[in-house]
A and B are shown apart, each in its own frame.
Chain A
């Protein structure tokens, strides 16, 4: 492997040598970190392990089910960001539904339980589709309360739904952040040579 010298120039305020992306100083060291490439490989592996552990935890807690794995299996070169795109749509739709549900229940004279049922069916459907098992289960209980026109029960269910949704959202954000780090680390590990 050729020894490619850096063509760096000092052009940032910290006076650091700035290299073109993915230029390799030596065959065995990364220009960006100075670390041996084999160590960067360990970083990728570590991140992959972190992702697996987080997913295993979420499965163990019943937060996610195998439908999430089905989504991952659909992701490939033709749609490399499929899972994050679906999850972002889910977040956007869920927050709209939660606002609608909160809006309905904040009215003391509220009686349109049919409308509430429609919102809950939507929430259940999309939660099932991404494997959000605990959120879906809370929606089922919520729907049961709405079918009995039980406003107090609906309020309690809404609080629980908001709590479960927040937990899921935070954990999925964490998952995607680790994935992003893994992709970046993998990119440094396999530099393109000019």
Chain B
């Protein structure tokens, strides 16, 4: 369980502000994608957690967890990415939610974005796209 926002810092003994490790929640029912996204985010310094569907992502937040970024698949069993994103936003979750979808239809991607995404990419995420997310997170933090 990851608690607390990763972006906040604390003062070390020598007065230098320490930056907490950032955290990423990977929401996808595909084991191959889970593995790839986990490795990419870990390489960028994120602590990662992986869940198989949107409901598990919502339940994590209901129990008090928070993350710096959520990678959200669109098509999942139990609760899909669109429903999960809507629920999270309705709960007041302001975390960056990045949609990753195999679907190339603009209309479906648009529906996903309108659910409350900050960004949407075709899966799998590549390193350059992930780095651009880190830049955006650092900008927001500053």
User: B123: CB under 8 A from chain A?
Assistant: yes
A-B residue pair count with CB separations less than 8 angstroms: 51
Cβ of A128 and Cβ of B43 under 8 Å apart?
no
Cβ of B32 and Cβ of A129 under 8 Å apart?
yes
Closest to B34 in A: A89
User: A86: CB under 8 A from chain B?
Assistant: yes
Size class of the contact patch on chain A: 20 to 34
Q: Select which of A73, A86, A118, A121 is within 8 A of B32 by beta carbon.
A: A86
- Chain B stretch 15-58: residues in CB contact (< 8 A) with chain A: 29-33, 35-36, 39-40, 43
- Chain A stretch 65-93: residues in CB contact (< 8 A) with chain B: 67, 70-71, 73-74, 78-79, 82, 85-86, 89-90, 92-93
User: A124: CB under 8 A from chain B?
Assistant: yes
User: A34: CB under 8 A from chain B?
Assistant: no
User: A6: CB under 8 A from chain B?
Assistant: no
Q: In the complex, which residues of chain A have a beta carbon less than 8 angstroms from the beta carbon of B30?
A: 93, 122, 125-126, 129
Q: How far is the CA of A74 from the CA of B126 in the complex (A)?
A: 9
Q: A121-B102, A124-B102 are contacts. A93–B123 as well, Cβ < 8 Å?
A: no
Q: Please classify the interface of chain A as helix (H, G, I), strand (E, B), loop, or mixed, using the class held by over half of its residues.
A: helix
User: A116: CB under 8 A from chain B?
Assistant: no
Q: How far is the CA of A90 from the CA of B30 in the complex (A)?
A: 10
Cβ of A129 and Cβ of B33 under 8 Å apart?
yes
Cβ of B127 and Cβ of A89 under 8 Å apart?
no
CB distance from A79 to the nearest CB of B (A): 6
Cβ of B40 and Cβ of A74 under 8 Å apart?
yes
Leading 6 A-B pairs by shortest Cβ distance: A126-B32, A125-B102, A129-B124, A129-B32, A89-B31, A90-B32
A-B contacts besides A73-B127, A126-B33, 6 pairs, CB < 8 Å:
A74-B127, A78-B43, A89-B32, A122-B29, A125-B30, A126-B31
